[in-house]
Chain A
Amino acid sequence: EDQVTQSPEALRLQEGESSSLNCSYTVSGLRGLFWYRQDPGKGPEFLFTLYSAGEEKEKERLKATLTKKESFLHITAPKPEDSATYLCAVRGTGFQKLVFGTGTRLLVSP
Chain B
Amino acid sequence: KAGVTQTPRYLIKTRGQQVTLSCSPISGHRSVSWYQQTPGQGLQFLFEYFSETQRNKGNFPGRFSGRQFSNSRSEMNVSTLELGDSALYLCASSLATPDRGNRFYGYTFGSGTRLTVV
Contact = CB atoms under 8 A, between A and B. Distances in A.
B104 interface: yes
A43 B112 contact: yes
Interface residues of B, number: 28
A31 B111 CA distance: 25
Interface of A: 31-32, 34, 36, 41-46, 49, 51, 87, 89, 91, 93-103
Contacts, number: 64
30 contacts: A32-B103, A32-B104, A32-B106, A34-B107, A41-B114, A42-B112, A43-B109, A43-B110, A46-B106, A46-B107, A46-B108, A49-B105, A51-B103, A91-B104, A93-B99, A95-B48, A95-B50, A95-B55, A95-B99, A97-B33, A97-B45, A97-B56, A97-B58, A98-B43, A98-B45, A99-B45, A100-B42, A100-B43, A101-B42, A102-B42
B98 interface: yes
A45 B4 CA distance: 11
A45 B3 CA distance: 11
Interface of B: 4, 6, 33, 35, 42-43, 45, 48, 50, 55-56, 58, 88, 90, 92, 98-99, 103-112, 114
Main secondary structure of the interface of A (DSSP, over half): loop
Given A43-B109, A97-B56, A98-B33, 20 more contacts: A32-B104, A32-B105, A34-B106, A42-B111, A43-B4, A43-B6, A43-B111, A44-B43, A46-B109, A51-B103, A89-B43, A95-B55, A95-B56, A95-B98, A96-B99, A97-B45, A98-B35, A98-B43, A98-B45, A98-B92
